[in-house]
Amino acid sequence: MKEIYTPFVKNDRQERLFSKAERLASLIKDRAGETDRSATFSLDNLHELKVHDYVSLTLPKAYGGEELSLYEFVLLQERLAVGDGSTALSMGWHLGTMMELSEQTLWDEATFTWIANEVGTQKKVLNRAATEPATGSPTRGGIPETRAVRQGDQYIINGHKTFTTMANVLDYYIVTAYVEELETVGSFLIDRDRAGVSVEHTWDVLGMRGTGSDDLILENVTVPKDRLVEVVQSSKKSSPKGWLLHIPACYLGIAIAARNDAIQFAKSYQPNSLDTTISEVPHIKQKIGEMDLELMKARHFMYAVAERWDQDPDQRVNMGTELAAVKTVATNAANHVVDLALRIAGGRGLSKKSTFERYYRDVRAGLHNPPMDDAVIQMLAGQALKDD
């Protein structure tokens, strides 16, 4: 069976990094069924990711990382997702956050140096906790109900966060809260073992169950004032976030896994009504060709945009629409590919013993990751209608 992702490896460095992701993908693949059933992030997977230095890849080399380019980041994340999409998406949030902190001056130098050493040396993992029951996705602009109240040299934080990926295994949370003293939204770096921090196991959803995206509960959590690491400035326009391409990379990885399994099934399954395997049946060949065409279009688009991001830093400020378009194109293409794969597998693909039904459920989640399709279409329309 011809593998369709290797052409995007361009040099020896990428081959070495790709091999790391490939090895990890083979290790985590066998646990995907169990984490799907338990709706938790696998501690065994986390151990493997730490031992193989995957959690520090996006850090600068000075802190023990590989200083990944965006192109390399999506290359590795897509390959990891071929093994297990839930693990890849989870790691994408951590790695992407560290990439953003490394490339932009969001935190003061001392705080960034400290957390970079925690990740690079101690292999600690973190993620942002921004979504809430009442406000929904933070990309829609809702003000968090989580509140931070200043008391002397400390802040007291109370709140309830949802969709906190890897909540139960993270070492640090970057928590958004309304800072009453400043009358604006800020982000606090909170360690897992701090008093008042707890995780409620609420993650019981259709797909991407292995991300363990449980609720984070904060009850009178006290943190030093220097743990306020970011403050939203209303006058400052947000910059495009290239690292969010980890989202389409993940879902294309799931689609590749479904495509590969579908082809393997087609080449091995021969009902007694045929003289050959179903791989020779015209409508099966049609579906296989359609899968590869969908993947080819979406993947070339994604890698082209990632490469442009790396090669033309001065234009990054203008690339928000392209980045958003990649996500929409890729996640919709991935859903179509997995649907075709399940049609090839037929009724067998609906079995819980099959990988196809998990792919089918997992890939649906991509449609609900930001940015949403409607926002992207409106963005494209607004840009087209804008005066010169």
The model's confidence at residue 235, banded by pLDDT at 50, 70 and 90, is low
For residue 348, with 0-12 CB atoms within 10 Å meaning exposed, 13-18 middle and 19 or more buried, which class applies?
A: middle
The amino acid at 89: L
Whole-number Å distance between alpha carbons of 124 and 111:
15
For residue 58, which phi and psi values (nearest 5 degrees)? Answer: -85, 0
Q: Is the pLDDT of residue 1 over 80?
A: no
Nearest C-alpha neighbor of 54 from the set 123, 126, 127, 128 = 123
| Cis peptide, bond prior to residue 371, ω within 30 of zero | yes
The pLDDT, as a whole number, for residue 141 is 64
Task: Calculate what percentage of the chain has a pLDDT beyond 90.
Answer: 92
**Residues 72-112 pLDDT 10s:** 999 999 999 999 999 999 999 999 999 999 999 899 999 99
Higher pLDDT among residues 38 and 7, named by residue: 38
Q: Are 155 and 188 in contact (CB under 8 A)?
A: yes
The model's confidence at residue 307, banded by pLDDT at 50, 70 and 90, is very high
Mean pLDDT to the nearest integer, 51-59: 98
The pLDDT, as a whole number, for residue 140 is 61
CA angle 198/24/361 to nearest 5° reads: 65
Whole-number Å distance between alpha carbons of 357 and 38:
16
Query: Which residues have CB under 8 Å from 269's CB, separation 6+?
Result: 277, 278
Domains assigned to the chain: 6-125 (1.10.540.10), 127-231 (2.40.110.10), 242-385 (1.20.140.10)
The pLDDT, as a whole number, for residue 368 is 94
Nearest C-alpha neighbor of 159 from the set 178, 141, 183 = 178
Q: Is the pLDDT of residue 48 over 90?
A: yes
Could you tell me where the beta strands, DSSP code E, fall in the chain? 126-129, 147-151, 154-164, 172-179, 184-191, 197-200, 214-224, 228-231
Q: Is the pLDDT of residue 2 over 90?
A: no
The amino acid at 181: E
The pLDDT, as a whole number, for residue 35 is 97
